[in-house]
Amino acid sequence: MKLFIDDGNTEAIAGLFELGIFSGISTNPSILKKSDRRPLEVVKEMLDRFAGALFVQCASSEYEDTIKEGVEIFKLAPERIKLKIPFSRTGIKALGEFGKLKIPVTITGIFSVPQVLMAAEAGADYVAPYASRMENLGIDLSVVESMQRVITNGAYSTKLIAASFKTLTQISKMAELPIYGISLPVAMYGEFFAHSGTLKAIDNFDADWQSIEDRKWVSI
């Protein structure tokens, strides 16, 4: 399963990205707004500083504008940019044109199995269901497994990347599924390292090591 970072704070991303396990970064207008910087400036910095895919969402809502905007965004780094477009009539229609242009697209804001079916049939390279927001609407996260089954059974090339997480339990549920990846903010990845059991074990290891009188060891 691929791990992506869903964040716009480049300094926070840098501290996490150095772990060397991430396949890319995902942004959207809401994420870029939180950075309190010019969106294009943030995107360009991400391309300069971090390796891997960069998912960038089109802000336009009209079809022609979406195509023009998407082409310009893609030109920033054709080998790395993956467009994002919300599930909509415009988004589904745009998939055909972007497919002809060989520009990869993620259909985002996914909440139902029929939406995945339509996006996959229209040629979406990725679909992004929103885990936390689904639960907020009373939708059981087991529906994500059904979404993946539609993709698998239909032999679509579409990849599913789950996003919008608020709890480790939601992440655990997604991690059990045969989906392509998950995308989380920096703070949520930080919670992986904060488990009380793990921290206690580390403290015990340190204490036991310090209690060894003759600690002759390898040179460091």
Question: Could you say which of 2, 34, 75, 84 is catalytic?
Answer: 84
Instruction: DSSP for 50-92, please give it.
Output: --SEEEEE----SHHHHHHHHHHHHHT-TTTEEEEEESSHHHH
pLDDT at 220 over 90: no
Confirm whether 159 is a catalytic residue: no
Please report which confidence band the pLDDT of residue 218 belongs to, taking 50, 70 and 90 as the band edges. Answer: very high
Amino acid identity, position 65:
D
Q: Give a three-class secondary structure readout of 134-158.
A: HHHCCCCCHHHHHHHHHHHHCCCCC
Domains and CATH numbers, the chain: 2-210 (3.20.20.70)
> For all residues of the chain together, what is the average pLDDT?
97
Neighbouring-strand partners of residue 126: 106, 159
Structure tokens at 138: 């009373």
138 φ, ψ (degrees, to nearest 5): 80, 15
